Amino acid sequence: MSTPQPSQAVNGSSLLRLLPGLSSSKKISPNGKGYATSAHVLLTRKERLGGFLGISGWLPFCQELKNPWSTNNSRPILMADLQIKNNVDIPMLLTHSKDDEVIEVNFGKQARTAWQELGLHPVYEEYEDGGHEIEETKGYSDIENFLVGIIGR
């Protein structure tokens, strides 16, 4: 099987081609609550993940995550569950639109900073338009390039 290459014209259905076994009837939803849920998996899963994609999202407990291994932390149960050390070098793409009416862009910036403070290296893309969805022009292309990069590894 040859490695997929980024295309010029990108949309949701072309992204689905990159993910074997994922039909168009299944929804990819790494935004909002899906982002927060996926973040929890990344923070607590012992197994290594292939990558992380977060769209128009936020990271719960950003303040508590600033120094998660501190014994003075206000949420020791959450901190005891952290397994992020297993995934600090995974590819990570975070995207957010400035006009997001559901989750303010500042929450996306806070999440990026928290990930960085945990030792991860997210690529953060911010768009002028797009609301709480994938930005139509550059957003789909950025996501496709990210996924192709993971598949080609």
Taking 50 as the threshold, does the pLDDT of residue 50 lie above it? yes
pTM of the model: 0.73
Q: Which domains occur in the chain, in start order?
A: 30-151 (3.40.50.1820)
Q: How would you class 14 by CB atoms within 10 Å of its CB: exposed for 0-12, middle for 13-18, buried for 19 or more?
A: middle
Residue 150's pLDDT band (cuts 50, 70, 90): confident
SS3 call for 85:
helix
The pLDDT tens digits for 59-116 are 877 766 665 555 565 554 455 456 777 778 889 999 999 999 999 999 999 999 988 8
The pLDDT tens digits for 111-135 are 999 888 888 899 999 999 988 888 8
Q: What are the strands of the beta sheet with 52-57, ordered from one edge?
A: 31-32, 52-57, 92-97, 123-127
Question: Over pLDDT 70: what percentage of the chain?
Answer: 65
DSSP 7-38: -SS--HHHHHHTSTT--TTSPP--EEHHHHHH
How far lies 105's CA from each of 25, 45, 94, 101, 119, in Å?
29, 27, 11, 9, 22
